Amino acid sequence: MKVIDAAQMRIMETYVLNAVPETVQKDNIAGGYRELSTKQLCDIAWNLFCLYTKDPVVSDFRKLLTREQ
């Protein structure tokens, strides 16, 4: 399995923390924005991880996780 180095991890963290469209959603009731749930942020982080790791083992692992849910 490919190991993510520190630079790649920082890029992923920066993307998740600073990308407003991906980390906040429009809240029509309050007329503003609300933070995404932890699960939604984890999904974003997992998708970024999969983008950075093209390893087939990761792909197989993801298929197993998806099947379990």
Convert the pLDDT of each residue in 9-48 to its tens digit: 677 666 666 554 545 555 555 555 556 677 777 777 777 7
Q: Is the pTM of this model over 0.75?
A: no
Q: In the block, which residue shows the tokens 């630079």?
A: 7
Domain boundaries, given as residue ranges, for the chain: 6-68
pLDDT, tens only, 52-64: 666 666 666 666 6
Instruction: List Cβ<8 Å contacts ≥24 apart for 46-52.
Output: 48/12, 48/15, 48/16, 49/4, 49/12, 52/4, 52/8, 52/12
In whole angstroms, how large is the CA radius of gyration of the chain? 15
